[in-house]
């Protein structure tokens, strides 16, 4: 992989390298990653290829890998001395429709030695991998610290950011009201202050709706896995105070979110943005005018839900701030109740806004989630009356536009619900979790993912969140193991052969669609970021169809800067990575690590 890495780094420094070189790079990458020749489209011959979790497996946990095009019916494990330490039969081969591959599962769950190993079958070896009791500790830290690197309105000092230190950009202390935001409470030339917050993704804008599910998921991780996160130090500027570092990181975003509320009526501006996306320049050189745009129901309800949720985390830490945020949450709920159908769309009025829309016209889920969080924070009966679980025909794997299941997570975590209500919540959660387990059982890759769209890697991790919360509820090991398979997938047990987290694994993304990583003059990307992953639906919108060598849904990914549809990063995609990594670490140590117990 050295040659591929050098090519990637060269291309990063010189982004004008021709398309021909890019195609050559993709071919060489395929050769080196797969350990085989690149067959012609008409060829039916392929060498076997192992797909493993490149970060590591839990000693007493489930351990599975995929062998593509198996030519033997068994496999073996080699230690670092090339000695065979384990042999077993492969499970029967089957075709995974999403990658159009014949694959067999290598299950070595009963191999419980610690160390560095490789799999081998038919003369083909896997990438090396670790087996130990704490394989995800560094991954968990890096996935949280990634948010620090994405902070807006501040410089990053070398003592905290190392080689990724940078100047401050986007102070956001004089943000213009866009014409779409002007109403009876403001004038066209009015400005607001809204510093802090995280850059949302590969761009330099800040979006309330996407901050909603992101901030909630991080707060829930802290609540559920406090034993792992409470004392975890990330070397951020606040590391020496009394708060958990993950909470201080969340507070950086909450301080921005609370300033996005119009104090005159409680409504929340949808996003803080430039009219168009900035170029790939450092934050301090990205100086386009920044605006807050129209208020919307979705933003107001996300705001209400998250600020109400934060009350739980802050009331013992900073009771004054906790109460202030709860009051703002109720004010936002009041505005949304008076404006229940105010869906946001990008304005075409000058200057036309062309950045991420995060538009959502179906708002019942936001009302349910906000009502739930406000009820749990206040015990006010008006919010309880607004919680109607039966209005949904079924609950779905959460994403920024479908947040009804976040209400289920919160309710299922509450020990004081009446028995009948608790059973209703439990039934909804278990029904959704069992559906994901069925997909896992039926999959030739032994993963539950069955949708490959923008941010598919976050989809499978949100599937894992569903199953983990079901495991927390009833303790069935199958929920835990199916969730483990989701983490295995993003860490390398997938049809592309990539570990999808920057800075981890043997083969990881180098040219992510991320302005901070591309503009910093450093070859390697900022570590700890999960890229979007395979997505066959938007190829013609970014790099172009010819850039993508494979159109099978599970393989449609390229490690190129232009591929914002598969290789961008986003705060809402990293949040379930944090949650799942924390869950695997904590629940394993609590329930499965025999040596520790």
Report pLDDT digits (tens) over 126-184.
999 999 999 999 999 999 999 999 999 999 999 999 999 999 999 999 999 999 998 74
- Residue intervals in the chain for CATH 1.50.10.10: 137-494+570-591
61, pLDDT greater than 60 = yes
Query: Which candidate, 205, 408, 404, places its Cα nearest to that of 289?
Result: 205
| pLDDT of 347 higher than 70 | yes
Q: What percent of the chain has pLDDT over 90?
A: 89
Q: What is the pLDDT of residue 50?
A: 98
β-pairing, 206-207 vs 271-273, is: antiparallel
Tens digit of pLDDT for each residue in 361-383?
999 999 999 999 999 999 999 99
**Residue 442 scores a pLDDT above 70:** yes
pLDDT the model gives residue 106: 98
Q: Is pLDDT at 405 greater than 60 in this prediction?
A: yes
State pLDDT tens for residues 554-585: 999 999 999 999 999 999 999 999 999 999 99
- Burial class for 82, CB neighbours closer than 10 Å (0-12, 13-18, 19+): exposed
On the question of pLDDT at 189 being above 70, the answer is no
pLDDT for 507 equals 97
Q: What is the mean pLDDT of residues 239-247?
A: 97
User: What gap in Å lies between CA 369 and CA 365, rounded to an integer?
Assistant: 6
Average pLDDT over the chain, rounded to whole? 92
| Annotated catalytic residue within 513, 514, 542, 550 | 513
137-494+570-591 classified as CATH 1.50.10.10:
yes
**Torsions phi, psi for 344 (to 5 deg):** -85, 140
How confident is the model over 87-140, as pLDDT tens digits?
999 999 999 999 999 999 999 999 999 999 999 999 999 999 999 999 999 999
Least confident of 29-38, 170-179, 248-257, 453-462: 29-38
Contacts (Cβ under 8 Å, ≥6 apart) of 592 = 58, 60, 61, 480
Q: Over 90: is that where the pLDDT of 34 sits?
A: no
- Distance from C-alpha of 192 to C-alpha of 384, rounded to nearest angstrom: 34
Among the listed residues 262, 481, 559, 560, the single catalytic one is 559
pLDDT of residue 29: 41
Q: What does the pLDDT read at residue 321? A: 98
Which helix (H) or strand (E) segment is 207 a member of? strand 206-207
Q: What is the pLDDT of residue 280?
A: 98
> pTM of the full predicted structure?
0.92
Contact 166, 282 (CB under 8 A): yes
Q: How many angstroms separate the CA atoms of 409 and 429, rounded? A: 8
What integer pLDDT is reported at residue 183 of this predicted model?
75
Q: What is the mean pLDDT of residues 478-487?
A: 98
Residues in the chain: 597
Is position 559 annotated as part of the catalytic site?
A: yes
Q: 223, 584 in Cβ contact below 8 A?
A: no
Q: Which of 101, 172, 481, 568 is catalytic?
A: 568
pLDDT value of residue 594: 64
Query: Has 258 been annotated as catalytic?
Result: no
pLDDT of the residue at 289 = 98
> According to the model, what pLDDT value does residue 583 have?
98
Cα–Cα dist 9/15, whole Å: 10
**540 by DSSP, 3-state: which?**
helix
At 44 the pLDDT is 34
Q: Answer yes or no: is pLDDT of 272 > 50.
A: yes
């Amino acid at each position: 992989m050295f040659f591929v890495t050098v090519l990637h780094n060269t291309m990063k420094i010189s982004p004008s390298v021709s398309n021909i070189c890019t195609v050559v790079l993709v071919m060489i990458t395929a050769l080196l990653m797969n350990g085989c020749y690149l067959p012609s489209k008409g060829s039916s011959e392929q060498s076997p290829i192992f797909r493993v979790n490149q970060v590591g497996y839990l000693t007493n946990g489930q351990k599975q890998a995929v062998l593509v095009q198996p030519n033997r019916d068994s496999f073996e494990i080699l230690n670092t001395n090339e000695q065979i330490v384990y042999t077993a039969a492969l499970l029967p081969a089957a075709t995974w429709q999403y990658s159009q591959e014949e694959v067999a599962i290598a299950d070595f769950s009963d191999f419980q030695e610690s160390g560095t190993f490789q799999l081998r079958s038919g003369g083909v070896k896997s990438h090396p991998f670790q087996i130990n009791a704490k394989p995800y500790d560094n991954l968990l830290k890096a996935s949280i610290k990634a948010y620090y690197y994405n902070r807006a309105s501040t410089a990053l000092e070398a003592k905290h950011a190392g080689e990724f230190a940078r100047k401050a950009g986007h102070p956001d202390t004089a943000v213009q009201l866009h014409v779409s935001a002007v109403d009876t409470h403001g004038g066209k030339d009015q400005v607001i202050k809204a510093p802090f917050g995280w850059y949302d993704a590969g761009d330099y804008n800040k979006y309330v709706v996407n901050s909603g599910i992101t901030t909630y998921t991080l707060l829930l991780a802290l609540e559920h896995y406090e034993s792992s996160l409470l004392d975890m130090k990330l070397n951020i500027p606040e590391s020496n105070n009394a708060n958990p570092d993950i909470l201080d990181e969340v507070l950086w975003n909450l301080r921005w979110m609370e300033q996005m509320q119009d104090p005159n009526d409680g409504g929340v501006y949808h996003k803080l943005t430039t009219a168009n996306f900035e170029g790939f320049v450092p934050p301090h050189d990205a100086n386009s005018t920044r605006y807050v745009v129209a208020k919307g129901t979705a933003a107001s309800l996300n705001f209400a839900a998250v600020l109400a949720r934060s009350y739980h985390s802050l009331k013992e830490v900073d009771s004054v701030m906790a109460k202030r945020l709860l009051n703002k949450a109720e004010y936002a709920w009041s505005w949304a109740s008076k404006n229940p159908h105010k869906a946001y769309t990008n304005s075409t009025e000058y200057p036309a806004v062309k950045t991420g829309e995060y538009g959502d016209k179906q708002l019942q889920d936001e009302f349910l989630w906000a009502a739930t969080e406000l009820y749990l924070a206040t015990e006010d009966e008006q919010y309880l009356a607004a919680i109607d679980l039966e209005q949904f025909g079924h609950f779905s794997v959460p994403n920024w536009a479908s947040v009804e299941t976040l209400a289920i997570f919160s309710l299922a975590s509450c020990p004081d619900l009446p028995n009948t209500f608790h059973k209703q919540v439990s039934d909804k959660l278990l029904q959704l979790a069992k559906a994901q387990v069925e997909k896992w059982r039926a999959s030739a890759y032994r993963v539950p993912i069955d949708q490959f769209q923008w941010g598919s890697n976050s989809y499978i991790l949100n599937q894992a969140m569903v199953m983990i919360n079901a495991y927390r509820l009833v303790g069935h090991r199958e929920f835990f193991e199916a969730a483990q398979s989701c983490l295995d997938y993003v860490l390398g047990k997938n049809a592309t052969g990539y570990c999808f987290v920057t800075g981890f694994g043997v083969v990881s993304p180098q040219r992510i669609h991320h302005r901070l990583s591309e503009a910093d003059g450093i070859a390697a990307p900022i570590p700890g970021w999960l890229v979007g992953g395979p997505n066959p639906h938007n190829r013609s919108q970014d790099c172009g169809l010819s850039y993508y060598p494979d159109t099978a849904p599970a393989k449609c990914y390229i490690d190129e800067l232009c591929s914002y549809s598969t290789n961008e990063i986003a705060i809402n995609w990293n949040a379930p990575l944090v949650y799942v990594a924390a869950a695997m670490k904590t629940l394993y140590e609590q329930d499965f690590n025999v040596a520790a117990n």
